[in-house]
């Protein structure tokens, strides 16, 4: 049926769509190139799915061995994509070992495939994979080895899901914390959206698990029923591509900003413009920010304050964390919110829009302004404005 054909190839074309966009992106960086590679492998994976759902027996029998590799490599490869966003400035080929289970099981499957006779291959494909009638009974040794391979695949896959999500989540949480300690506005810099993708991975793995329990052959020749796995995976893949395409800031940019601060501090020290003492109090730090209205700068960094105060960013970070019991981003946003509240209480500014107020106060976007204000005041800016008026 035409509808089954369209639905079966939909995830593959979603992958190819984002591969093209990522490779043509003017803001392309290493993680985006890597994500394009990841989605290219995913396209191969879903090509095999399409062959299965459209009963292309010979094509599926061969490509199923490739599918073993692409499926078992998906979670490890995405985990390493997170490393490229949060830790590694360049690809560390020593991490290639994470593909070892996928490679070994794929080679094992290929060896059995080439050793099987046409009759054994037909028995495995139609009897084991499609559960067609007339193919029951005892299986020969090579067919049983392929059945063992499918069992090993499920075990490896489950372990990979757990490990990739767990360690990927830890990398993102740690990175987001570091970003909040460095920048006063984290919009476009943190990886909250990527963190949600990990949960989407979990959901997709549950869908795959349910499909395996039911049997993928259940959806063959069922027409619209194939829409459930097809649309689920298509939306999931679209989400991956969309988030990756818009994630322009990475650990490489973070590292460049840190290195830039070190160079400025070194030059200032050489010119004797910086005192080498780290002595500055919590009150002095707050006064510096308030009197100079530094919080109005949406690109304010902890290093900017360190250079002005004649100290280092580690010392300021320690004051903010230990004495103020917050992080740099939230600390600066506190001054911004207080400034906003002052504006809203002043009748002279009644004609200003929320966007103008957000920009005057140092917020990088209107959405960030609304989110931070609601977190700190428990009401929206519009509701607060109505109260004070």
Instruction: Collect all residues with Cβ–Cβ distance below 8 Å to 143 and sequence separation of at least 6.
Output: 116, 120, 123, 124, 127, 128
Rounded Cα distance, 179 and 189, in Å: 7
State the number of CA atoms in the 13 A half-sphere of 100 facing the CB: 6
Closest listed residue to residue 233, CA positions, set 65, 53, 32? 53
C-alpha distances in Å from residue 252, one per residue of 30, 31, 83, 91, 181:
9, 10, 11, 12, 17
Cα-to-chain-centroid distance, residue 203 = 14
For the ranges 90-94, 195-199, 216-220, 282-286, the maximum mean pLDDT occurs at: 90-94
Range 290-294 average pLDDT? 92
Whether 99 has a pLDDT exceeding 90, the answer reads yes
Where does the pLDDT of residue 90 fall: very low under 50, low under 70, confident under 90, or very high at 90 and above? Answer: very high
Residue 204: Cβ within 10 Å count: 21
Q: What is the dihedral of CA 36, 42, 44, 48, to 10 degrees?
A: -170
Higher pLDDT, 213 or 20: 20
Whether 42 has a pLDDT exceeding 50, the answer reads yes
Name all domains of the chain by residue range, CATH numbers in brackets: 2-250 (1.20.1070), 275-388 (1.10.10.60)
Tell me, what's the pLDDT at 311?
A: 82
pLDDT digits (tens, 9 = 90+) for 265-274: 877 766 655 4
Q: Residue 143 in contact with residue 53, Cβ under 8 Å?
A: no
Rounded Cα distance, 24 and 19, in Å: 9
Rounded Cα distance, 69 and 245, in Å: 25
DSSP secondary structure of 267-306: HHHHTT-S-S-----HHHHHHHHHHTTGGG-TT-BHHHHH
Average pLDDT over the chain, rounded to an integer: 89
pLDDT digits (tens, 9 = 90+) for 3-32: 778 888 999 999 999 999 999 999 899 999
pLDDT digits (tens, 9 = 90+) for 323-355: 999 999 999 999 999 999 999 988 888 889 999
pLDDT digits (tens, 9 = 90+) for 173-197: 999 999 999 999 998 898 888 888 8
Q: Residue 240 in contact with residue 39, Cβ under 8 Å?
A: yes
């Amino acid at each position: 049926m035409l509808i089954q054909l369209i639905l079966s190839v939909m995830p593959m074309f979603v992958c190819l769509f984002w591969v093209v966009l990522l490779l043509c992106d003017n803001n392309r960086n290493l993680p985006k190139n890597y994500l394009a590679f990841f989605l290219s492998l995913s396209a191969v994976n879903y090509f095999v799915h399409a062959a299965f759902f459209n009963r292309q027996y010979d094509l599926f029998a061969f490509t199923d061995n490739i599918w073993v590799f692409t499926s078992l490599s998906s979670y490890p490869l995405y985990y390493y994509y997170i490393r490229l966003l949060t830790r590694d400035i360049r690809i560390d080929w020593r991490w290639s070992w994470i593909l070892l289970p996928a490679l070994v099981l794929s080679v094992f499957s290929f060896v059995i495939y080439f050793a099987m006779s046409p009759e054994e291959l037909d028995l495995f494909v139609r009897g084991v994979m499609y559960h067609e009638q007339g193919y029951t009974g005892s299986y020969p040794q090579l067919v049983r080895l392929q059945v063992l391979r499918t069992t090993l695949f499920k075990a490896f896959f489950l372990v990979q899901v757990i490990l990739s999500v767990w360690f990927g989540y830890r990398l993102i949480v740690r990175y987001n914390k570091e970003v909040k300690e460095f920048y006063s506005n984290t919009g476009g810099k943190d990886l909250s959206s990527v963190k949600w993708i990990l949960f989407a991975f979990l959901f997709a793995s549950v869908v795959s698990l349910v499909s395996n329990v039911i049997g993928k052959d259940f959806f063959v020749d069922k027409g619209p029923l194939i829409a459930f796995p097809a649309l689920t995976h298509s939306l999931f893949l679209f989400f991956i591509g969309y988030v990756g395409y818009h994630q322009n800031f990475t650990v490489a940019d973070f590292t460049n900003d840190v290195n830039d601060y070190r160079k400025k501090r070194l030059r200032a020290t050489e010119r004797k413009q910086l005192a080498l003492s780290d002595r500055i109090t919590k009150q002095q730090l707050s006064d510096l920010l308030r009197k100079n209205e530094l919080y109005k700068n949406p690109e304010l960094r902890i290093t900017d304050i360190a250079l002005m105060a004649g100290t280092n960013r580690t010392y300021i970070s320690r004051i903010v964390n230990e004495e103020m019991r917050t992080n740099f981003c939230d600390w600066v946003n506190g001054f911004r919110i207080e400034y906003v509240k002052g504006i809203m209480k002043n009748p002279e500014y009644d004609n200003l829009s929320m966007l103008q107020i957000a920009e005057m106060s140092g917020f990088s976007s209107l959405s960030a302004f609304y989110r931070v204000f609601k977190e700190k005041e428990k009401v929206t800016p519009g509701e607060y404005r109505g109260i004070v008026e």
